[in-house]
Amino acid sequence: MDIGPTLLLAFLEGVVGASVLALTALGLSLVFGVMRIINIAHGELVMLGAILAWAIVHFLGGGALVGFLLAMILAPLIVGTFAVAADWLVLRRVNYDPERTIVATMGLLFLAQQTVLMTFGPDAKPVEAPFYFRVNFPWFGYNGYKLLVVAAAILLIAATWLILSRTRMGLYMRATQMDAEIAQAFGVPVRRIYAMVFALGAALAALAGVLVVPIQQAHYLMGADPLLLSFIVVIVGGLGNLRGTMLAAAVIGIGEGMISVLFSPTLAKIVATLLVALVLIVRPGGLLREEAA
């Protein structure tokens, strides 16, 4: 294959990766922005979404398409419920203290990972794509499902955006992000908003998991990569800054995908990781400006 088509293929792979990454990072960034906490178990939510998608398609049956649609609805609901429970039982009790939350969510990470290992075993679980069609370029055919993933991710991000900017709940969330105490004084139910934001972030991660599972199989250790990459995106974009997060997800996702195809996936991750160090040098202090405030 010539360099042109290879680049196009690499770019497409990058766009697919970027859209899933944007979805995952949006959840992480939202949670940080409103609640000021870092959820180390965020990658495990993607994993839970993926493994639930497998379980739903496998046990409920009804064909690949129906099963997949069910998974798109049920998996985020179940994972969101877990998140509300975690908020209620754990995060609220440590008063959302940043460092204690990190230790606690790390505990949740191991619990989630090992529970899935004990329940579903160590094997990777494949999920059939809901449909098959090939998009034929002049040089190669491309899996149509992957393009659907891009469209679905864009739709979900747009929906989140609408919730944040057009609904009363979104208004409450933005008010809480600006200043939780003042918001509380104005009658915003801050605790409930925290629980909802945590659930929303978890649901977005779970949806990302459902979307990738036909491409990449469900496995109990699959949470590490999404966690790492969405951390990178969220830092480069500015923690809690949703626009920055989306932009960074596009750039890093496409870059990572292209380096993965053209060179090696491991190299791509090393480059992306060191990019964070570079950002630190170029923008010392400015990186987490919102946190300092």
Q: Which residues contact another protein (rule: CB under 8 A)? A: 38, 90, 93-94, 98-100, 102-104, 106-111, 113-115, 117-118, 224, 228, 231-232, 235, 264, 266-267, 269-270, 273-274, 276-277, 280-281, 284-285, 287-288, 291
d(CA 272, CA 76): 28
* Shortest distance, position 185 Cβ to another protein, whole Å: 26
Alpha-helix residue ranges (DSSP H) falling in the chain: 3-35, 42-60, 63-86, 98-120, 144-166, 168-178, 180-185, 190-216, 224-237, 242-262, 265-282, 289-292
Nearer residue to another protein within complex by CB, 92 or 166: 92
Q: Which is nearer to another protein, 200 or 279 (CB)?
A: 279
Q: How far apart are CA 272 and CA 266, in angstroms?
A: 10
Q: Which is nearer to another protein, 19 or 101 (CB)?
A: 101
Cβ of residue 227: shortest distance to another protein, in angstroms? 9
Shortest approach of another protein to residue 38 CB, angstroms?
A: 6
Produce one character per residue of 196-213: b if its CB has 16 or more CB atoms within 10 Å, e if not: bbbbbbbbbbbbbbbbbb
**Nearest distance from residue 286's CB to another protein, in Å?**
10
Q: How far is the CB of 181 from another protein (least distance, A)?
A: 20
Contact 230, 21 (CB under 8 A): yes
116 vs 204 by CB, closer to another protein: 116
Instruction: Give the residues across from 90 on adjacent strands.
Output: none
Closest to another protein by CB, 98 or 141: 98
Surface-to-core class of residue 8, CB atoms within 10 Å of its CB (0-12 exposed, 13-18 middle, 19+ buried): middle
